[in-house]
Amino acid sequence: MADFMVYIFLLILNGIFIYRAEVVEVILYAVLTAGILQLCYGIFNSILGILYPFILYFNNNIPGILFILIGNMALPATILCYKVLYKYFSYNETIKSRYVLMVFVPVLMLFLAAGYISAKFYTNADTTDGILNTRHLYLLVIQLFGMVSLGCILFTYKKLLENFRLNTELSLLLQEEHLLGQYAEEARINYEKTRSFRHDIKNHITIIKELLQNGKTGQALNYTMDMENMAAEMSFQYNTNNPVLNILFGNKLSMAKDIGADVQCFLVLPYPCAVRDIDFCIILSNLLDNAVNACKEAGCMEEKFIYVTGKVQGDFILIEVRNSFNGKAVYKEGTGLSNARAAAARYNGALNISIQDKTFTASVLLAIK
Q: What is the pLDDT along the chain (369 residues), one digit of tens a residue?
A: 566 566 667 766 776 677 666 677 777 777 777 778 777 878 877 777 777 666 665 555 665 566 666 666 777 877 887 777 766 665 544 444 456 667 777 877 877 777 777 777 666 555 555 555 567 787 888 888 888 888 888 788 778 777 877 877 777 677 667 766 766 676 666 667 667 766 677 777 777 777 778 777 888 788 787 776 666 555 556 778 887 788 888 878 888 888 888 888 888 888 888 888 888 888 888 898 888 888 888 777 778 899 999 988 888 999 999 998 876 655 666 777 888 888 888 898 899 988 887 888 999 999 987
Which DSSP state fits 263?
E
- Domain borders along the chain are 2-173, 237-367
Question: Dihedral of CA 271/274/277/279: which sign?
Answer: negative
360: three-class secondary structure by DSSP: strand
Which DSSP state fits 122?
I
Is the Cβ–Cβ distance between 309 and 266 less than 8 Å? yes
Using alpha carbons only, give the angle 335, 340, 345 rounded to the nearest 5 degrees.
125
Question: Which numeric CATH code is attached to 237-367?
Answer: 3.30.565.10
Pairing of strands 305-313, 359-367: unpaired
Upper half-sphere CA count for residue 146 (Cβ side, 13 Å):
28
Is the Cβ–Cβ distance between 323 and 305 less than 8 Å? yes
Q: What is the pLDDT of residue 94?
A: 44
Is the Cβ–Cβ distance between 147 and 107 less than 8 Å? no
Q: What is the pLDDT of residue 365?
A: 92
Q: What is the pLDDT of residue 247?
A: 80
C-alpha dist (Å) from residue 232 to 194, 197, 227, 257:
11, 12, 9, 19
- Of how many residues is the chain composed? 369
208: three-class secondary structure by DSSP: helix
Residue 212, φ and ψ in degrees, nearest 5: -70, -40
C-beta atoms surrounding 228 within 10 Å:
10
356: three-class secondary structure by DSSP: strand
